Structure 1
Amino acid sequence: MIAKLRYEYVRSLMRQNAGWFDKNHSGMLTSVLNENVEKIQEGIGDKLGVLVRGFTMFFAAIIISFIYEWRLSLVMLGLAPLSFLIMAFQGMKMEKSTIKEFCNIAKAGSVAEESVMGVRTVQAFNGQIEMVNRYKNELTRGKKYSLIASFWSGMMEGFFFFLLYVFLGGGILYGAYLLKSGVLASPGNIFIVIMSQLLGAYFVGLISPPLMGVFKARVAAAVIYETIDRVPEIDVYSTVGEQLENPKGLVEFKNIHFQYPNRQDAKVLNGINLTINPGETVALVGHSGCGKSTTAALLTRLYNFDTGTVTIDGVNINEINIQNLRKIIGIVQQEPTLFNDTIAENIRISFPEISQERMIEVCQMANAHDFIEALPHGYDTLIGDGGVQLSGGQKQRIAIARTLARDPKILILDEATSALDAQSESIVQNALDKAAQGRSTIVIAHRLSTIQNANKIVVFDKGHIVEEGTHQKLVSLGGHYANLKEQYKWMIAGFICALFRGLELPACGLTFTYVFESFSMLQESPDEMMRRCLNALWIFLGIGIGSWIFQCIGSICYAMSSENLTLKLRIAAFQNILYQDAGFFDNIANSPGKLITRLATDVLNIKSVVDCRMFLVTHSMTSVVISIIIAFFYSWKLALLGTSMLILLAFGEIFIAYKVMSKNIKIARNDNAGKTAIEIIENVKTIQLLTLENHFINHYLVALDAQKTLIKKKCFLESFNNCVAMSFEPFMYGICYALGIHLIHSNRNAPADAFQAITGILLTAFAITMSSSYFPEFVKANSAAKLLFSMINRKPSTGDSNVGEKIDISGTIRFDKVQFTYPQKPNQPVMTNLSFKASPGQTIALVGPSGTGKSTIISMLERFYDVNGGSLKIDGKDIRDLSLEHLRTQMALVGQEPKLFSGTIKENICFGLAYVVTENEIDQALTLANAQKFISNLPSGIETEVGEKGGQMSGGQKQRIAIARALIRNPKILLLDEATSALDSESERAVQEALDKARKGRTCITIAHRLSSIQNSDVILYIENGKVEEAGTHSELMGQKDKYFELIKKQDING
């Protein structure tokens, strides 16, 4: 059932439209999947069985009681309606708190996912502490609501036991009255009624922990089913709609107005009118954020426009079946999304029927075949999460091949060649030009040289089309286009309360013996019998008050202890993850999906044994020890028999526990379903655009099915253990009663002594049975703790980031015969003999084919990895001897794919700073990054929320914010990995000028495929095969007429 629920939830997620995802962050959805489903599994698993057994026992006790003595049963039945009122009130209070608790935990999960998925950016800007604090703040808010729920649980459960003992004492006194008045002839029926109702009511009283689990499961299920039952406005599973057969590709936008659902104050498109004729190539250009990518998103129906119409071949796209629509449209996005599979499977998912020959053909068109064949496993190479094992250019080329494989009638290229080096770009651009023939093509570009040959160029500005025409026509107009060119103290207190609560059952047993002796005085002194039964009432009243007090205090203490412990465990694990080296994340066992899943589920499993359930187990075990001692005191023979049988039961359960624990660890380590679900949630837009919903839901189903065998074996062992524990209790009762009767008959024990010994043994068995229902949780917690603490205790290979020399560097960098291979690819050397030096204030440009080690150089300067051989020195000191944290405060990285985090623009710019910056400093950084203008046009300015992963910003806007984030630090070493690749021409020129100024007085290492941007560098290094093949200034390298010269020639071909 749980697998089915996970399946339906993930399937429903892929059904939702883009506007819904703008409001529901992927991190929160992942948290809901992990934590809410875990709560549901708890609530409908053994907890539901315990509840059913408890209520069955309760009603059976009432029936038996009425059969033997209806008058007394009727008096004691008054407890039943009060019990249900208490549970109803408890459920109402807990539900409110639980909903709020889950909401905050989901937000914390979103922070965790965002951080782990963008961990290199977090590390590069020393943002670990900031993200940990965000995570902690959300968890702390959730903790408050969890404590409120625990308070009401403890208060109501304690109140129930108070009422139980009041009714019990009252029932005994009323039974004595019936005996004295002659209505009853024997006290035997009184004991049957009282013991039956005691056991039934006591079981109901102890169902608070499983009842809490069921209530939480109910709340969790409501959140899950809200998503499952939601039918979006744009339904990818809908079978209705027109099927376009052999479309020609005539696309028309008529008076389109649009604003994003969660940004109603900012209109993106204002009355767009655009026609794209069959076979025509239309380029959309303009400043970042002007509406170009939004126009493409509307054509693929990621969003529905507000007013106007969009048609294909005269058919309104709202009337076309959504799957059919997306199958005739191919899209290559600015930031390519690949999946954790082989290269061949990443291409095949677009068109499953593709032959090997056709696959090779499209890869050759995308200039991907040669580098794929050079890999040890060729097309069967696993590329890791998001294609982490490949360079940016290699990922982009595979994404292009994937699109070409489905031979779409309409092609959308959203900066499709921005990540390619000059050699690859020229070939791929020619291939795309050929691919565009015979199909309608929309090209979104910032680099105008790539679209000069378009049939029509459309210029966007602030949501309007301001110019339209050919390249020559628009240049001649001289308009916009031309311009574009503390937990232990709580646990101890709870433990003490549990010890006192553990005296309850033994005290109850002794009081029953006192009552048993009192009833034997019926013939001799009826008045004395009544007096002693009245004393018993006061004793039970005292037991009830004690139970109420200690239950309430103990529950709160254990809840506080468990919340503090789980908070610390979550934070410790999360923090340690953020400080790990890159090799840790390259390991498939530590994929972001698996880490996020472990962070959610392992802590929940540990929490289950240190919250109110631990309180129940503690006081039950206390009752066991004291009851056994009392039993030995009254009859060592009976006690020895009962204890021997209990020891036999304990050994059996320990054996089963070992088996279950090994199964739990195996299940956790082979959990690919969680990783697959996160990959789906993270890339849902790409999946929808490629119409791969069925492919991925089947892939997820396979991952779920792969675990079913292990889970079934584990469930069988847990069920078998539960059956043995439950059936052992009546079996032991029968054996002990048989021996007791024999001892009384042979005059070896007085009846009262035998009764007390048997009562002690029965209470012991009852307490153990109650505790055994939580046996599976202790086993799961043990398994989870091993996995979690192995994560917490792992030391990164780069060492403690705060240990080492803290020097103010000048910026001298020296690579000396550096050798390096990635930890997961030990047989594929990336650097073989790399040597070069950068002096303070010098700009070093790295050029060369994709995948030859350029980005690796930056990774080593940031110490994501350490060198295997040779040395890397900063200011003459080995980089490993310097404090990593302090070193990163003097460096800044602007990557090819900018990573922003949920929060405002200001918060992203100041991310990771250990000091407060002034508004003037922020303005200066924004001005340098050419971001001031577009930010000032936003309704909330610098306080505008960027959305999850910066999703509310365009690619160019995100890049400029990332540049401002780097410049505000005034770094001594500036690392630029294609820092201007996502910018439009005007912004690129302005930012390039700003970066030229920013480079003065600091060392700069820049990677660029657009060679025009690095011609003024002090030194240009041509990197190939893991070493420097050519070095010199632009003019020097051009004079050599070798590899760099060829690169320049290829790029000149493109203009």
Structure 2
Amino acid sequence: MDAENEKKILVEDTTTTDSTPKDEAEKPAGLGDLWRVYRFADRLDWFLNITSLICSIASGAAMPLMTIVFGQFTGRFSDFAGGSVDPDDFKDDVNQFVLWFIYLFVGKFVLAYVATTAVTISGIRTTRVLRQRFLEHLLRTEIWYFDTANVGSPATQMTTNVTRINQGIAEKLSLLVQGLAMFFSSFVVAISVQWKLALITLTVVPLFFLIIGIGMAIDAPIEAKVTGSYSQGNAFAQEVLASIRTVHAFWAQGRMKVRYDKYLDEAHQYGKKKSIVYGIMSSSTYFCMYGGNALAFWQGFRMYQSGEIDSVGTVFTVVLSVLLASSSIGLLYPQVPALANGAAAASELFKIFDKPSSLDPLSNEGKVPSTCQGQLQVDDISFSYPSRPDTQVLKNLTLNIPAGKTTAFVGASGSGKSTIIGLLERWYIPSSGRLLLDGMDVSMLNVKWLRSQMALVQQEPVLFRGTVFENVAKGFTEAQKALALDEQRRLVQEACEAAYAHEFILKLEQGYDTYLGERGGTLSGGQKQRVAIARSVVSNPKILLLDEATSALDPTAERIVQKALSHVSQERTTVVIAHRLSTIKDADNIVVISAGQVVEQGTHEELITLDAHYARLIKAQNLAIPENDTHNDLSAKEGPMVTDSDDAVERVMTAQTEKSVALKDGKSKPKDRSLLTSIFLILKEQKSLLPAICVSAAACSIAAATWPGQAILFSRLVTTFSSSEPSASDANFYSLMFFVIALGNLIAYFVIGYLSNIVAQSMSHQYRLELFSRMVDMDIDFFDRTENSSGALASILSSVPSSLQELLGLNIFVVLIMIVNLTASSALTLGYGWKLALVMVFAGLPLVTGSGYVKIRLESRLHDSNEVRFRESASLASEAVSALRTVASLTAESDFIHEYSETLSSIVIKSIKSLSVAMVAYAFSQSVEFLVMALGFWYGSRLMASGEYTAEQFFLIFMGVLFAGQAAAQLFANLGSLTRAKGAANYLFNLREENPMIRETDDNKDEGPDFDRTVGIHNVYFKYKSRSTRVLSGLSMDINPSQFVAVVGPSGCGKSTLISLLERYYDPTSGMICAGQQDIKNISPRLYRNEMSIVQQEPVLYEGSVRENILMGLDGDSADASDERLNEAARQANVLDFVSSLPEGFNTHCGARGSAFSGGQRQRIAIARALIRKPKLLLLDEATSALDSHSERLVQEALEKSRKESGCSVIAVAHRLSTIRNADVIFVLVGGKVAEVGTHEELQAMGGVYADMCQAQSLDREA
């Protein structure tokens, strides 16, 4: 065929990195992107946000208000120590102070509960709308946009990115506001008490915010690049996981891991740049605030000594306020990275949101005619794909498609046939010319109405997760969707009967309610095709578009379906694209297209008479059955022939019977390890990061020592101030010690900020790669499970490592600081005064830890359940976007949006109920310290009144417990993210325990196959794990060396299962498959697969160049094959001329799933990939089904020549019998066993099943 002609249909790669516009890629991320998320909030959300804001501010101000009470108490104590107040009055005054603490407890509890609950509910509700609108935006975007844009993985966008956004506008934002409120309230209190001293200490605040602002401005763009790299990596990973059979067939797991690792390494390199930012930002902020403490004490003493401040209580109110402002940084700082991450994630989403759609399928714009006759006219159409505007696919094409008639398009692969379908569906807009429907330009018609008048069945049918009924019902019109369920089921059954699908559906375990896997993967190709046809005819469309609609059907099923289609085509405009010409010989008009132009048209008889293009195609396909052959009527054999106890029926996996991480034997439940166990196990395996972790832990100890150190200094300063003759040297010394603490924090927090990011980035890289590696190494039945769709696994690849970062990232070091602080402060207080310390610590600590533990447990359960639901919803959305053309042709956008919305709504409802309970425990953990303080004041005052405790003892213990309480509150505030990490760690550990059964081991690694001897299939029985019905029932056959063996039979008889067993995707239930004298179970699967190749019915190409895709057929040691070998494989597959004619030749990008090429071109590249391997056993599963007759003949000749030259054995599964008539032996399968065996001539002479199949496909003998 003409290679130049084929080049015309090339569509540029849809997902390459450099396809993203530069201005879009370089647009910096900022907090503005995060705030834009609030445009998805409704009035209730705004009410909740404003309520939360007010309560967060009030909650944050509670602790600074305590300093007023504390300052007054210090003043009264000074009076008591000076003898101006008697013990009884002192006790009465203290009792009043205690009541104030109780009031603060109640207020803090209510405010913290309302603030956190309100903002969390609002965040969940807002991001629910965000997820829904994001999917809606993708489905409303014109299809050609995806030919050049990079939208990453929808699963990643809707799980990890939206989760980060949710944290940024909910949980983390609330903590940030409370921290800021505490920070500013502390200074407000200080100013109200002594404005001059307060203003002096405030000099550090502008510097503090300047550092934070600059740090976030630098961090956000870096984080956006990290997020972008991960998004591209996840898109690639999803592509790999969706085609895992091809990856396993070519033992390409290692190469896929290397390619995926390149995306991870790019993100890692970007991520490491954040280390210096985090180090400087964290150390500088803590240094500023602790330096402010030193300044406050130093200046406060000078002002007190000079008489400018007349009360000790005033000084300590101001100083304690400054101390609290410092401690608030512990609440503020961990939230900064979360906001940066949220902003980067929002930036990723808004790059897509900001692209307006120029062709909205859900818009009400455009005319909606009252009737549709179905008269189509192509008027002088020229067309070039948007990504290749200089290359014309159609050239001034003019064509009339009469209403109620069948028009067939035939021609070479890549001639522009499918492009016409794309223009009719308005996936693309013509460069010039018009498309008319009933005389009206389709550009003036409403898009949804136009598509609803058409029904499309594509060459590679796409089904969706859901039941058979739900899949067929996707083709309903709006009027049909409003019918009663019983009536809908009747319509579905009638459509399935017309499509010859009813019988095999009834044999499924749940009939029409049987759940299908991702992309309908639990059905065979023929069964998927029939369900897709039923989905198309169920709406009784005016126009039927059939793009190789019966290519996957066996001859008998094809003939019956053709009769059904002929019946439903009556009084309906039907456009058929076909390579198998037997399917269109009765068309009213046959149009032969070449190089984007019509070269001839007419009826079958008229074109035969011309003896030109069409006649040559006919002769190439004729099976030339002898005139004197006689055949029985097929109708008597239809029942037994369609024996769908088949591979597809048995691959149906029921979600109800499996857990999300079920082990191989299905008996063990996934383990649920505790948070501490998870941390220990992760630490244990991070030997390379252990030095950084140990240094960071040491720095945490220094930072944590700050708090008990401050308690000691504070108590000493109280003593100094309360002295009858205050010592300036002591005050200066202790102030200097506060500055030393500031210097210690400068060093400690730089180390923590810098190294924690190094650890986090390394862990993210490591665990993303490990998860992907383990996933691609899993047995195929792992991917058959409903919860392991490619979208769900892509979501896990993103969310689990992100959560695992929390275990050893910044958050864990913050938690460690708080634990050391809590422990050290408690120990210090017990050492200085055990009576008061015992009361305060052991009365308060169980309350704090108990409430915190309850909160963590509740949050952990909620997170685990939500993770599963969000993965399922992301999988649904990802499936819809990956099959956008099918969704558009069905006008099913609203259905998917509604289904997705319903799924999200159920998550929101369950989450709100759980959160309402969990937040009670959280609010109590945040406020109980006031009760502890009340108790401490009451009991401590009595100990001081009795002279048992000194002022220094009381204040040291009180401050120690105060700081310990602060640590406990911040500890449980930050532990929320660790609960997510616990669930992620459990997923990883459980996945590790699920080892694939089909793998290379020490015992088999040197055991290779002997394909120079007979490949034997001996009495093989097979059924899929969760099913009781057998697929293969005692199948036996021998394949001799260098033999061409064909396997034929009705769709669903077990042909594809046989290929799967030969590829060792599965092992037989019983029986044996031998390569020579060895059971293939005892052979290394790597060595076994390296000796064989497969070309599947639906060819899979990967994002990357043509060269990379063909070289994937080689093992790792030969991946750098010579150009000569590459060219030879391409020549044998009849694709060399086409590839050479492309501007970039073998370096041309294939696009995601090979979307840059037509089906026939993809198939030939896949054949080249198989042939470059020089296999000893070649498996062809409908390998030439997508090729035109000319290409098919050339490829068949090349395969035959290759077989004879190399001596390889060939096993071909075929429906198009012309491709296997020269086979050395043909096995006819019926019901999972061999029904007939022989050569083409021998089977013809039998006049049985095979002969009837040949008769169904033969063309007019006169041709």
**Distance change >3 Å, CA 510–CA 483, structure 1 → 2:** farther
**Distance change >3 Å, CA 491–CA 717, structure 1 → 2:** farther
1:951 lines up with 2:1155 in the alignment: yes
Aligned to 1:1038: 1244
Structure 2 contact 526–1052 (Cα < 8 Å) conserved:
yes
Deviation at 1:897, TM superposition (A): 0.2
Deviation at 1:355, TM superposition (A): 4.0
Deviation at 1:957, TM superposition (A): 0.4
Aligned to 2:497: 364
Worse overlay, 542-551 or 88-97: 542-551
| Residue aligned with 1:773, SS | helix
Structure 1 contact 802–883 (Cα < 8 Å) conserved:
no
Structure 1 contact 844–1019 (Cα < 8 Å) conserved:
yes
1:254-265 matched pairs, under 5 angstroms? 254-265=379-390
1:235-634 matched pairs, under 5 angstroms? 235-351=360-476, 352=481, 353=483, 355-477=488-610, 479-482=612-615, 484-485=617-618, 486-521=688-723, 523-524=724-725, 528-529=727-728, 531-634=729-832
| Residue aligned with 1:432, SS | helix
Deviation at 1:183, TM superposition (A): 0.9
1:680-829 matched pairs, under 5 angstroms? 680-800=880-1000, 804=1004, 805-807=1006-1008, 809-811=1010-1012, 812-825=1014-1027, 827-829=1028-1030
Aligned to 2:89: none
Give the counterpart of 2:1175 among 955, 971, 978: 971
Deviation at 1:952, TM superposition (A): 1.0
TM-score of the two chains, using structure 1 as the length reference: 0.97
| Residue aligned with 2:544, SS | strand
Worse overlay, 386-395 or 716-725: 716-725
How far apart, CA to CA, are the structure 2 residues paired with 1:404 and 1:654?
58
How far apart, CA to CA, are the structure 2 residues paired with 1:776 and 1:689?
44
Aligned to 2:631: none
How far apart, CA to CA, are the structure 1 residues paired with 2:156 and 2:595?
37
Deviation at 1:954, TM superposition (A): 0.3
How far apart, CA to CA, are the structure 1 residues paired with 2:415 and 2:422?
13
Worse overlay, 587-596 or 319-328: 587-596
1:1018 lines up with 2:1218 in the alignment: no
Give the counterpart of 1:996 among 1200, 1208, 1212: 1200
How far apart, CA to CA, are the structure 2 residues paired with 1:25 and 1:371?
40
Worse overlay, 324-333 or 278-287: 278-287
Worse overlay, 344-353 or 111-120: 344-353
Deviation at 1:997, TM superposition (A): 1.6
Structure 1 contact 266–938 (Cα < 8 Å) conserved:
no
Structure 2 contact 451–889 (Cα < 8 Å) conserved:
yes
1:628-707 matched pairs, under 5 angstroms? 628-644=826-842, 645-671=844-870, 672-707=872-907
User: Superposition RMSD on alpha carbons, in Å?
Assistant: 2.0
How far apart, CA to CA, are the structure 2 residues paired with 1:792 and 1:583?
16
How far apart, CA to CA, are the structure 2 residues paired with 1:921 and 1:357?
57
Structure 1 contact 803–884 (Cα < 8 Å) conserved:
no
1:127-166 matched pairs, under 5 angstroms? 127-166=252-291
How far apart, CA to CA, are the structure 2 residues paired with 1:781 and 1:612?
13
Aligned partner of 1:679: which letter?
Answer: E
Give the gaps of 5 or more residues in structure 2: 1-124, 619-687
**Distance change >3 Å, CA 577–CA 517, structure 1 → 2:** same
How far apart, CA to CA, are the structure 2 residues paired with 1:116 and 1:774?
35
| Residue aligned with 1:267, SS | coil
Deviations, residues 348-367 of structure 1 (Å, cap 9, x unaligned)? 22113464443333222211
Give the counterpart of 2:141 among 9, 12, 16: 16
Deviation at 1:572, TM superposition (A): 1.5
Deviation at 1:149, TM superposition (A): 2.7
1:908 lines up with 2:1109 in the alignment: yes
| Residue aligned with 2:552, SS | coil
Structure 1 contact 929–991 (Cα < 8 Å) conserved:
yes
How far apart, CA to CA, are the structure 1 residues paired with 2:1153 and 2:151?
10
**Distance change >3 Å, CA 1006–CA 454, structure 1 → 2:** same
| Residue aligned with 1:14, SS | helix
| Residue aligned with 2:356, SS | coil
Worse overlay, 74-83 or 838-847: 74-83
1:81 lines up with 2:206 in the alignment: yes
How far apart, CA to CA, are the structure 2 residues paired with 1:86 and 1:59?
17
How far apart, CA to CA, are the structure 1 residues paired with 2:930 and 2:148?
56
Aligned residues: 1050
Aligned to 1:983: 1187
Give the counterpart of 1:871 among 1058, 1065, 1072: 1072
How far apart, CA to CA, are the structure 2 residues paired with 1:10 and 1:674?
10
**Distance change >3 Å, CA 1054–CA 240, structure 1 → 2:** farther
Aligned partner of 2:790: which letter?
Answer: P
Give the counterpart of 2:339 among 204, 214, 225: 214
Deviations, residues 948-985 of structure 1 (Å, cap 9, x unaligned)? 00011100000000000000000111000000000011
| Residue aligned with 1:829, SS | coil
Structure 2 contact 132–897 (Cα < 8 Å) conserved:
yes
**Distance change >3 Å, CA 307–CA 490, structure 1 → 2:** farther
How far apart, CA to CA, are the structure 2 residues paired with 1:147 and 1:725?
35
How far apart, CA to CA, are the structure 2 residues paired with 1:201 and 1:258?
67
Structure 2 contact 274–757 (Cα < 8 Å) conserved:
no
**Distance change >3 Å, CA 1038–CA 26, structure 1 → 2:** farther
**Distance change >3 Å, CA 374–CA 166, structure 1 → 2:** closer
Aligned partner of 2:815: which letter?
Answer: V
| Residue aligned with 1:864, SS | coil
How far apart, CA to CA, are the structure 2 residues paired with 1:674 and 1:103?
18
Deviations, residues 1-49 of structure 1 (Å, cap 9, x unaligned)? 2222211111111111111222345752332222210111221221111
Deviation at 1:803, TM superposition (A): 5.3
How far apart, CA to CA, are the structure 1 residues paired with 2:838 and 2:917?
29
Aligned partner of 2:148: which letter?
Answer: K
| Residue aligned with 1:256, SS | strand
Deviation at 1:806, TM superposition (A): 2.7
Deviation at 1:102, TM superposition (A): 0.9
How far apart, CA to CA, are the structure 2 residues paired with 1:834 and 1:808?
21
Structure 1 contact 488–561 (Cα < 8 Å) conserved:
no
| Residue aligned with 1:138, SS | helix
How far apart, CA to CA, are the structure 2 residues paired with 1:960 and 1:46?
53
Deviation at 1:484, TM superposition (A): 4.6
Deviation at 1:474, TM superposition (A): 4.3
Deviation at 1:585, TM superposition (A): 1.6
Deviations, residues 45-64 of structure 1 (Å, cap 9, x unaligned)? 21111011011112211221
Deviation at 1:664, TM superposition (A): 3.1
How far apart, CA to CA, are the structure 2 residues paired with 1:797 and 1:717?
44
Deviation at 1:717, TM superposition (A): 4.0
Deviation at 1:718, TM superposition (A): 3.7
Deviation at 1:657, TM superposition (A): 2.8
Structure 1 contact 27–112 (Cα < 8 Å) conserved:
no
**Distance change >3 Å, CA 733–CA 236, structure 1 → 2:** same
Aligned to 1:938: 1142
Structure 1 contact 286–461 (Cα < 8 Å) conserved:
yes
How far apart, CA to CA, are the structure 1 residues paired with 2:1002 and 2:1099?
26
TM-score of the two chains, using structure 2 as the length reference: 0.81
Deviation at 1:599, TM superposition (A): 2.2
